A and B are shown apart, each in its own frame.
Chain A
């Protein structure tokens, strides 16, 4: 299948002011490579602040990478100006769906206008606009579309608003979508519906999707691949089924352990947790960034940065002790 997005060794450093210390750089992304094909979803998971949104935005060229390359369908778009991005239609073909279905929609605009706005900005004709809007509403199952065109956001439920957000991202016919926590603010009882919808639209419109989420348990339902991030780096990546069934990186193993499952036996035990919190990204730990919280860290982990190595088909892990974890000669949890 055709590749839609490729990132090569992407870095993103933010300059942050630290009072009298002057400014320091915060490595939000520190050498990330990935690719997403047509009809494929990559789930990007990890704790708050690990760089997920930054990654999504860099891949859309909404943020400039400090280093590394961004390719859209094989073309290097890293250095293109905003004007070039627009003139060559890259902007239309790459869209984002935001997390918050409440504040991301203008409360004073009707649903129809909210969805048609991007088309108007890109100078579409009236008839074309109407057709695209109706099609987008149908795709997100806000049907019959005529019933929704004239409504205001406050007349819709959270789930319906999120569909409007998705419809808005779809009208320009994108080939790549970044969905940044698209269901985290929606009731649990509606999340699966939205995620499955997103997946079926992805297939019918043949898009590539980056699905950014805190909720690793949802990843396997909608994504073929997973990238687990820790402090701006990919700790483990591979086919979703392998990463979830046979996690190798200690961080992935412990992250999966933190996810609650509905089981009455839970309350008689204590969950095995990752101790502490991610350290300051301004002063990241040396060597493996996870070593300060890793239960099996050794001296080598404190000094030498592990690189991503393939341990199973398509499954890459950045951990010095991966071999031992696989053999079972050391256990994490």
Chain B
């Protein structure tokens, strides 16, 4: 069954300009997302997850530049058009993002409801009363009582604030929602509640979701497909059933999976020695080679392509092709 394509990203490269030179935060990334599908982007700190998300909503910092690549939302290219056009046609109403740490950057002196209503007024041009009504509805959609409209951020717990920033992203009924580490600052008990909420929203609103997390276990909770990033590149991309059910095919994913502490079972959790690459001078060959337990000659010299190990499962490793 092929579903309508909500998003397609082709050969995207996003570099930051720094004193040390170019930081290749996103390097040759291509993927797509179907309508109603959820894709998890998983990887360690600094792997380029947030940069990728911010590129797709055209919110990159000034020192970043899109070196190459295209992205299409329901067939329309969004990276080459003017920022004005993007904001008018795409921001909030087709694609929106809950930023990493957003719950801590709510405006302390504004009622949270007015903050949820903001995009409706400034981007949607709705009159205040109508915006207020729609914002209240959305606050209920994310599982908070309507009276919460009049509360201030300091009157809310972490979980409640997270619901508010999700409401903000949803208030103009986007088709595509990017969630950047929406639960990493929360207790597991509250995290589980938010995850259930996100699942409900996906089902109820038919959203296409990009769920950014460093936690592979959490990814399995939400995602139809998993995309594992390392050093700005895709290492493995496949359905959750394949990647976690049958088992990872990339050494990095394999190590990441075995690093997760388990409540049951034998043995100690594993770890990956060393540290992620410096993206201003990434290692030659495979970017993971300095930390890879299976490294051999070729890995140090030649960069492996993303091998198609079946039509829907891609792996960037010399062990998987030639």
Contacts and interface: CB of A to CB of B under 8 A. Distances in A.
A244 B271 contact: no
A217 B264 CA distance: 9
Interface string A231-262: 00000000000001100000000111111111
Interface in A155-198: 157-160, 187-193, 196
B262 interface: yes
B262 A261 contact: yes
Interface residues of A, number: 41
B94 interface: no
B44 interface: yes
B275 A159 contact: yes
B240 A264 contact: yes
A192 B267 CA distance: 12
Interface stretch (B23-31, B165-173, B210-218): B210-218
B271 to A, nearest CB: 4
Given A262-B257, A264-B241, A192 B190 contact: no
A193 B220 CA distance: 24
Given A159-B275, A260-B217, A267-B220, A192 B259 contact: yes
A57 interface: no
B261 A191 contact: yes
Contacts of A218: 261, 269
B81 interface: no
Q: Which of A188, A189, A192 has the most CB of B within 10 A?
A: A189
Interface in B181-204: 187-193, 195-196, 199
Given A188-B214, A191-B271, A217-B262, 7 more contacts: A190-B271, A191-B259, A191-B261, A262-B260, A267-B199, A270-B199, A271-B195
Interface of B: 38, 44-45, 157-159, 187-193, 195-196, 199, 214-224, 240-241, 244-245, 255-257, 259-264, 268-273, 275-276
23 contacts: A157-B275, A187-B45, A188-B214, A189-B255, A189-B256, A189-B259, A190-B271, A190-B272, A193-B271, A214-B187, A217-B262, A255-B188, A258-B188, A258-B192, A264-B220, A267-B221, A267-B222, A267-B224, A267-B240, A271-B196, A271-B221, A273-B193, A273-B196
Interface of A: 47-48, 157-160, 187-193, 196, 214-218, 220-221, 244-245, 254-264, 266-267, 270-271, 273-274, 277
